[in-house]
Every structure is written in C-alpha cells, then in structure tokens.
Amino acid sequence: MYFVKSPFFLRWLYPKSIWNMPRHEKKVYLTFDDGPIPEITPFILDILKKYQAKATFFCVGENIKKNPHLFQRILDEGHQVGNHTYNHLKGWETHDEQYLANVAKCQELTQTDLFRPPYARATKSQLRQIYKKYRVIMWDIMSGDFDPNLSPEKCLENVLPNIKNGSVIIFHDNIKAIPRVEYVLPKTIEFLLKNHYQLSRID
C-alpha cells in the first residue's frame, strides 16, 4: 500500500522531513528514485532536456557504481542528486548501524546534503542521525509508477489533479516503472508548462 498524497499523520510523525517546497512559488519539483540504470534513465534525461526541465535524482549507490557515465550525465545536464542509500535498504528492517553505514557509503559517491529513505521509511533513531547531515526530502505526490497493477492512464490521474505550487512528485527510474514513466512523464511536463509552472531541481 502507498499514499498518493502524503497523509497528515506521516507529516506529523516526521516533522523535520520536507514534504513540499514553498507554496507561494509556482514551481514543481520532479524527483526520480532508484537509478541510474540504462533501461530508463537516458529516456528520462532526454525528455527533461527536450523540455528544458530540471529535476532531482535520488540515486542508489550500487547503480552509480554500475553506471557512472549515467550519473555523470545527470550532473552534466544540470540536475541535482540525492542519497538513496547504497543498496536501497528498508530502514524498518535494518539495524541502525548498518543502515547509517550504507547511507555513508552512498554519500561517498553522491556528495549531497539531500537524502530520501527508500520506501519513504526509516526509523526515528535512524532519522535523528540523518537529520544532522542531510535534508530529508519526502513527497507531496506519489505517482505509483512502480505499481505493475496500475495502468499508465491511472498513474497520470494520480499526478495531475494533485499538483499544487511547491509539489514534490516522485517518479522512479527503475525497471518496474518503465511503462508508466514513458507514458506519464512527457504528459506531466506538458501539463506543467501549459499551466506556467517552473520545473525546478531541489537545491
């Protein structure tokens, strides 16, 4: 189960995390989790380049190691990167020491002050340590693109009606998301530009 819109109780549980950016600015923040991988990250970068849009990629360390050229392309094309752990660990199922070491291992590659816990889940004790070094970026809109039971059309319906100023939208550059990302991302960007939103990276 996942929440398309970040619910109040999660925002209450994790008040130091960032769930959306300032609402007074007509900006939207596209974010991509889990890459970079050759099967979908180049497509995403091509689409962003076509529309001159910027985004933030929360990268998994082992994927950076496997695909350093794609990670470098993300940087070269002016996008932001964030830490998504080295092995995409579930915080709730990992001892704190192991989890924090995994974050640190990814940080050697990403060199960023942005962090997003995989599955948007980490324990309070893990986050207490992470908050000391990182801004933890959660989400305003979860596209659900990773859900194989979700049609591309329904995925688009998860996104467009929920967009507001300052929305942080989660997409994924992973294998499971490919059919939905390929359909939804161009249409989302076209909608945003038509409605005069600026597509910004999280700095």
> Which residues belong to the active site?
33, 172
SS (H, E, C) the chain: CCCCECCHHHHHHCCCCECCCCCCCCEEEEEEECCCCCCCHHHHHHHHHHCCCCCEEEECHHHHHHCHHHHHHHHHCCCEEEECCCCCCCHHHCCHHHHHHHHHHHHHHHCCCEECCHHHCCCHHHHHHHCCCCEEECCCEECCCCCCCCCHHHHHHHHHHHCCCCCEEEEECCHHHHHHHHHHHHHHHHHHHHCCCEECCCC
